[in-house]
Structure 1
Amino acid sequence: MIGLLSANSASMPIDALKVAVPLGIGLASAALLTIKMTSNPYDKSIPNIPVRKGDSSHDKELDENQDEFLIRCEQEYGPIFNLKALNQDLTVISGPMVREVFMNEAFSFGDAIDTLTGVRVFLMSVLKSHKDIDSRITHDLVRDNISPNLPLFTPRIVEQLERVVNEQLGYCEGKVVEKPIKIVQDMIAYAMANVFMGPEVAQQRIVIDTFIQVTYDFGIVIGRDNRKNPWHVWKNKTKYGVLNPLQKHIKVLTDAAGPVIEERRRQEAEAYENGVEWDRPLDIMQRLLDNNDKYGFIDLEDMCGHLLILILVSVHTTTDTSTNLMYYLACFPEYHEPLFQEQQEVLGQIEAEREELRQKKLQSGEFSSAEEFVGTELDPAHDRDLSAAAMKRMVKMDSFVREIFRYRMTRLDLMHLARKPVTLSNGMRIAKGQMVVINLRSLHQSQEYQGEDPAEFRPFRFLGKAKAATKAATDYLPFGMGRHACPGRFLAIQELKTVGVLMVSRYSKIEMIDPSHRNRALLSRIGDPCPSGLIFTSRSAPAKKEA
């Protein structure tokens, strides 16, 4: 091809030129006719929002009142328009047109985030396999191994969350916690370590510290906003592409996991020799070991790299939203008791149902005495456990969590980069390489989509509406939508609801140290914690143990 393009036409024989010239003209005419026939006659230019006099971008107008500004743009220019904001040219997509972005593979969320942050080199630095930028391995690992087993993982998650709460908060009368996120980090890190790596690995504090540190590193890489900063991208690509400081975290995981895996293999071999079935550990690490041929991991370091990515993404987002949930409980104390009462009612119902089932089994003769239920699935000691079934029934808490996401999310977010030219259903064309951003205000703060008072925080807004906090759709986009919807949302919501239930069951009151930061607490961006700490007051003193 290079040789053909660089050939000197002067050396071409005259007879060949006589044939080539009319042939070229004919091909050009045919191409022009084809373009005219296939071009969209309804193609429109996307309106550009004029910049206010004295401003070089729309950032100031967005900062002053983003809802008012976006509403005006939508009313005057329609659902699609161009802005200059966040140090870049953006095409804003609003309302029902948003669905076309999420459902069209030509728009890439991953490409957009990498363009803004250089995050791919951070993630790829710990992997040996599946380094293709479009690899869906992380999605598949979550889909195959976490979501289907969530009911089995729930008791372990609850156990770890409760343990950390008891150790670091416990019973308190007006205890001041300057940085509640530190407690939440431990809660989520221990829970995720148990689910992903297993209890033997998770009991090592160095592993928990690694999860927290890599989460902190990840937060720095992705930044606190969507502002385009080429220097930030360059620093990330240089740091993680050349120096690769994440290898120390991989070493921590392999050093911790290696002996555990060897012991498990020994136990499995011993069980095989004795002709008995080995009781396989319930954690993601074991499932990946059992399915290594399916996923194609190169070695233990590679597998730990994939586990590290799963963990850091889970810990980062869930820590942030769990902390934010505590602030919402502090800002809206009137909903504390209704959430607590729901929990007591649900657990009471389950306790009664289990007792009824025990009585039926006693009457049928399947069990001869109440003592025989101890150690079985109907053990009375577990009647009021926070099981997956119990959490599913707590619809007020589910609505509370969903409303936090709806209310809190930044109005312009979830950027996508066009990988090729795209013509939308209204005829407007998005050029290749253009950054589009979703106008979440047009969905999350719309009366059409959310019902009455969309500008207000109404935590029980979704009761009886079949709109669970995990349901990704056009009117609720914190987890995306379509084929690329976050598969880890089921785990994340389960953890969030559990954190909320633990808080309202143990503490009658949660307050902000400095209430003047209330708005900051409600609308804080991910990775941008509220400067005010929290004050916790327990419901009752712990029961005294009998001598």
Structure 2
Amino acid sequence: MYQAIILGFILIITLYVLKRMREPKLNMPPLIRYKFPIIGHTYSYLYNTEEFLKQCRKEYGDIFCLYIWGQVRIIVGKEHSQEVLSRDDVFDFSKAIERIFPGDVMLKTLERFTNTSKVLKEYVLNKMKFYNERMQNSLYSATKKQIGECDEPKVIYNIYNLITKIISAPIANIFVGEEISQYEEIITTFAEFTSDSAIFLMIPPILDFIYPGLQNYINRIILRLGLYNPAVKHQNILIKHLKKQICKRLQDKEKNGESWKRPDDFLQDTMEEEDFDPNNVDYPFIADKLGVFIFVSIHSTSSTCANAIIDLASRPEYMQELYEEQLEVHKEADENGILPFEALNNMKKLDSFIRESLRLTGFITGLQHAILKDYTFSNGLQVPEDYLIDLYFDDIYVDESLQGPNPKSFEPFRHLDANVPASKVTRNYLAFGGGKHACPGRQFAINEIKFFMHYAILKYNFRTESGKIEEKTRLGPMTSPSSCGVVFEKRNK
């Protein structure tokens, strides 16, 4: 027993020494001193993130290194963050994700799907105006179902979970069609796919203390051996419904010929691709294809929407002003209450509110990038291939020269005069990344949130149960929407 413990300890120390020996000798950014071997800065980074990084920035400048989870991590602040975002030949966001999340193994046919941005643009983003009415009808129906009339005050806890079901409804409608999206288990799959799959991101990478990347390596083995895969149950549900729907569409088309009414959705666009074989349909591939878009869209949109709702519920003094704007906008609606697509441009105060909510989401660092090759920053500091870089969001979001007066204060109409919509990427706003690889679906996400909040503000009064400003739930440098109670009650017109 003791011999095994001693041998294990010797192995850990040996790997640690070998790891330090292979560290490059470039003119790297300064490595902040730490007291404890192996653990390094991990504890301070997780439990005192804001103050710890602020002190590091003050003493060591815009770029510095920390020793976190068994490896050196490079933190880049406001002065050089745009270099990271603009040099996609050097810094790669997707490669960084691969090193911590085994999505390519979880979705086994994912390696064949290489044109995600192009497909998303052609099948969805270019058709946003076309999908306008369906999105609103689906959103409003889901809101009535999930929140209800609220004739009596209704308290909803952990509103993120409820919002995911509301947000999932129109996305499912557009991706798999109106018929399939009526099934509760489909909505549940869209709502829960990301949170279930993200378990590999939630588990602390403790094994990386032994050697960098060991945690991801073990996770991949678990998936390859079929010991555990949280995506499987959702894939099975998608495949079950896809089989029925695709067969039905093929039969209807053959039966009705030219009089066949073509469904308009992502699924039908997929069925009309050149490599689609109606005699040998690759259902797992189509399910994995859908899984990619579910993963990157539902969680981020739902989190943003939940935060905006809680931010407004925490500040009821802004409710009347937003209500009056939405009343004016609603004059453009047709007899069924559906707004024209162009009405989104007139929700200027609401848009500014959402942008401010996104600006103050509370993430201190993020947008991790992998370094593809050695690089020298404009200040002369060098970073080596294979290391990871995190952007220091707080260095940007609390800077008065970039944000204006009182950068820490939530000022919902801060962005009105600047004429910068919530979906616009700027140097002082990194909610959707930046450069060539800024989130391609950001306009779609903001549109959906604005339509939902338009309806919610007109239909309900809502406030926090505590009557106070509710803060985000923090986990190290990241946050998630508060699980506080939000009180909804029917608005008296």
1:182 aligned onto 2:161 = yes
Deviation of the 1:454 alpha carbon: 0.7
Given that residues 361 and 479 in structure 2 are in contact (C-alpha distance below 8 angstroms), is that contact kept between their aligned partners in structure 1? no
Given that residues 399 and 462 in structure 1 are in contact (C-alpha distance below 8 angstroms), is that contact kept between their aligned partners in structure 2? yes
Structure 1 distance, partners of 2:480, 2:50, is 21
Q: Which amino acid aligns with 1:197?
A: V
Deviation of the 1:126 alpha carbon: 4.8
Q: Which amino acid aligns with 1:48?
A: L
Q: Which amino acid aligns with 2:392?
A: N
Deviations along 1:418-472, whole A, 9 cap, x unmatched? 1221122222211111111101112222212211111111111110313111112
Given that residues 84 and 91 in structure 2 are in contact (C-alpha distance below 8 angstroms), is that contact kept between their aligned partners in structure 1? yes
Aligned counterpart for 2:253 among listed residues 268, 271, 281: 268
Query: Residues 226 and 245 (structure 1 numbering): CA distance in 2 closer, same or farther, change over 3 Å?
Result: closer
The residue number in structure 1 matching 2:389 is: 436
3-state secondary structure, aligned to 2:463: strand
1:471 aligned onto 2:450 = no
Structure 2 distance, partners of 1:502, 1:120, is 38
Query: Residues 527 and 426 (structure 1 numbering): CA distance in 2 closer, same or farther, change over 3 Å?
Result: closer
Deviations along 1:293-347, whole A, 9 cap, x unmatched? 499x972331222012212322222222222222112211111111111111122
Deviation of the 1:108 alpha carbon: 1.6
3-state secondary structure, aligned to 1:452: coil
Q: Which amino acid aligns with 2:470?
A: R
Given that residues 250 and 301 in structure 1 are in contact (C-alpha distance below 8 angstroms), is that contact kept between their aligned partners in structure 2? yes
Aligned counterpart for 2:262 among listed residues 276, 280, 301: 280
1:303 aligned onto 2:286 = yes
Aligned counterpart for 2:99 among listed residues 115, 123, 126: 115
Given that residues 364 and 477 in structure 2 are in contact (C-alpha distance below 8 angstroms), is that contact kept between their aligned partners in structure 1? no
Question: What percentage of residue pairs aligned between the two structures are identical?
Answer: 28
1:480 aligned onto 2:437 = no
The residue number in structure 1 matching 2:375 is: 422
- The farther-off stretch of 456-465 and 153-162 is 153-162
3-state secondary structure, aligned to 1:436: strand
The residue number in structure 1 matching 2:142 is: 164
Aligned counterpart for 1:233 among listed residues 216, 226, 235: 216
Query: Residues 254 and 55 (structure 1 numbering): CA distance in 2 closer, same or farther, change over 3 Å?
Result: closer
3-state secondary structure, aligned to 2:335: helix
Given that residues 38 and 70 in structure 2 are in contact (C-alpha distance below 8 angstroms), is that contact kept between their aligned partners in structure 1? no
Structure 2 distance, partners of 1:403, 1:128, is 37
Aligned counterpart for 2:237 among listed residues 252, 274, 278: 252
Query: Residues 335 and 226 (structure 1 numbering): CA distance in 2 closer, same or farther, change over 3 Å?
Result: farther
TM-score, normalization: structure 1? 0.76
Given that residues 524 and 530 in structure 1 are in contact (C-alpha distance below 8 angstroms), is that contact kept between their aligned partners in structure 2? no
Deviation of the 1:196 alpha carbon: 0.4
Q: Which amino acid aligns with 2:357?
A: I
Deviations along 1:202-235, whole A, 9 cap, x unmatched? 1122222222342222221222889885575345
Aligned counterpart for 1:343 among listed residues 304, 326, 351: 326
The residue number in structure 1 matching 2:132 is: 154
1:447 aligned onto 2:400 = yes
Given that residues 320 and 526 in structure 1 are in contact (C-alpha distance below 8 angstroms), is that contact kept between their aligned partners in structure 2? no
The residue number in structure 2 matching 1:360 is: none
3-state secondary structure, aligned to 1:139: helix
Aligned counterpart for 2:90 among listed residues 100, 103, 106: 106
3-state secondary structure, aligned to 2:80: helix
Given that residues 464 and 484 in structure 2 are in contact (C-alpha distance below 8 angstroms), is that contact kept between their aligned partners in structure 1? no
Deviation of the 1:129 alpha carbon: 2.2
Q: Which amino acid aligns with 2:130?
A: L
Q: Which amino acid aligns with 1:192?
A: I
Aligned counterpart for 1:191 among listed residues 170, 188, 198: 170
Structure 2 distance, partners of 1:252, 1:153, is 25
Given that residues 119 and 222 in structure 1 are in contact (C-alpha distance below 8 angstroms), is that contact kept between their aligned partners in structure 2? no
Deviation of the 1:178 alpha carbon: 2.7
The residue number in structure 2 matching 1:381 is: 335
1:289 aligned onto 2:268 = no
The residue number in structure 2 matching 1:51 is: 34
Given that residues 156 and 487 in structure 2 are in contact (C-alpha distance below 8 angstroms), is that contact kept between their aligned partners in structure 1? yes
Structure 2 distance, partners of 1:61, 1:199, is 49
The residue number in structure 1 matching 2:12 is: none
Gap runs ≥5 in structure 1: 1-42, 352-379, 542-547
Between structures 1 and 2, the one with greater helix share: 1
Given that residues 510 and 537 in structure 1 are in contact (C-alpha distance below 8 angstroms), is that contact kept between their aligned partners in structure 2? no
Deviations along 1:176-204, whole A, 9 cap, x unmatched? 22332332122122221101000111112
Query: Residues 526 and 488 (structure 1 numbering): CA distance in 2 closer, same or farther, change over 3 Å?
Result: farther
- The farther-off stretch of 286-295 and 441-450 is 286-295
3-state secondary structure, aligned to 2:470: helix
Deviation of the 1:518 alpha carbon: 1.9
The residue number in structure 2 matching 1:328 is: 311
Structure 1 distance, partners of 2:256, 2:201, is 46
3-state secondary structure, aligned to 1:438: strand
TM-score, normalization: structure 2? 0.83
Query: Residues 415 and 430 (structure 1 numbering): CA distance in 2 closer, same or farther, change over 3 Å?
Result: same
- How many matched pairs? 459
Structure 2 distance, partners of 1:453, 1:171, is 38
Query: Residues 470 and 522 (structure 1 numbering): CA distance in 2 closer, same or farther, change over 3 Å?
Result: farther
Structure 1 distance, partners of 2:434, 2:481, is 27
Aligned counterpart for 2:71 among listed residues 88, 95, 106: 88
TM-align CA RMSD: 3.1
Q: Which amino acid aligns with 1:78?
A: G
Structure 1 distance, partners of 2:240, 2:98, is 31
Given that residues 464 and 470 in structure 2 are in contact (C-alpha distance below 8 angstroms), is that contact kept between their aligned partners in structure 1? no
Structure 2 distance, partners of 1:461, 1:269, is 56
Aligned counterpart for 2:57 among listed residues 74, 77, 80: 74
Greater Cα radius of gyration, structure 1 or 2? 1
Deviation of the 1:114 alpha carbon: 2.4
Structure 2 distance, partners of 1:63, 1:499, is 34
3-state secondary structure, aligned to 2:356: helix
Q: Which amino acid aligns with 2:200?
A: V
1:220 aligned onto 2:199 = yes
Deviation of the 1:175 alpha carbon: 0.9
Aligned counterpart for 1:509 among listed residues 415, 438, 462: 462
Q: Which amino acid aligns with 2:138?
A: Q
Query: Residues 491 and 430 (structure 1 numbering): CA distance in 2 closer, same or farther, change over 3 Å?
Result: same
Given that residues 190 and 202 in structure 1 are in contact (C-alpha distance below 8 angstroms), is that contact kept between their aligned partners in structure 2? yes
Q: Which amino acid aligns with 2:183?
A: Q
Gap runs ≥5 in structure 2: 1-25
Q: Which amino acid aligns with 1:206?
A: E
Given that residues 462 and 486 in structure 2 are in contact (C-alpha distance below 8 angstroms), is that contact kept between their aligned partners in structure 1? no
